[in-house]
Amino acid sequence: MKSRNGTIVDKEKRPPHIRLALRLLHVYFSFARGMTMGVRAACFDADGRIFLVRHSYIGGWHMPGGGLERNETVEEALVKELREEGNLRIIGKPQLFHVYFNTTTTKRDHVVFYRATVEQTAPRPPDWEISDSGFFSLDSLPEGTTDATHRRLAELRGEQGPDHRW
């Protein structure tokens, strides 16, 4: 399958039970929440490397993040997700970069995207959610890095303006 920029997309087929569970979650969220909102961050260490994760339930390497819960601010969700997905601690204040409309899974999701300087407090072992993670040089991203991740990095570098869709 080819992406918007013509590169081959590594689509890992999700097992049927994972597809069913994700579908049921989305049906639940369509009733429980009129709109969903999540956070993601481009997390850089002191050496300028970016932190990426591979989820067990979706293919490719992504920037860490996740959904907001009720009574949770965006920055609280960001701190929580970075801690959970990478044992990352934000140094200083994260910089809000842009808010995107994300129609990848539903037609009602928004992603609040930050740039953050981080340090890892402990190695992040794989588990049921995160199958792999690590810091990577920007000129040596892992095979399977998602198109959205490449687009966000180009936007951060100023090579293109922010797209309004994730």
65-88 pLDDT, tens digit per residue, is 999 998 999 999 999 999 999 999
Tell me which of 33 and 148 has the higher pLDDT.
148
Weakest mean pLDDT among 19-28, 112-121, 143-152: 19-28
pTM: 0.80
Residue 11 pLDDT class (50, 70, 90 cuts): very low
Tokens of 162: 């922010």
Nearest alpha-carbon partner for 78 in 125, 49, 117: 117
pLDDT for position 33: 60
pLDDT for position 13: 66
pLDDT for position 27: 75
Task: Tell me: pLDDT of 25 over 70.
Answer: yes
For range 99-108, the mean pLDDT? 86
Weakest mean pLDDT among 9-18, 124-133, 142-151, 152-161: 9-18
pLDDT for position 70: 87
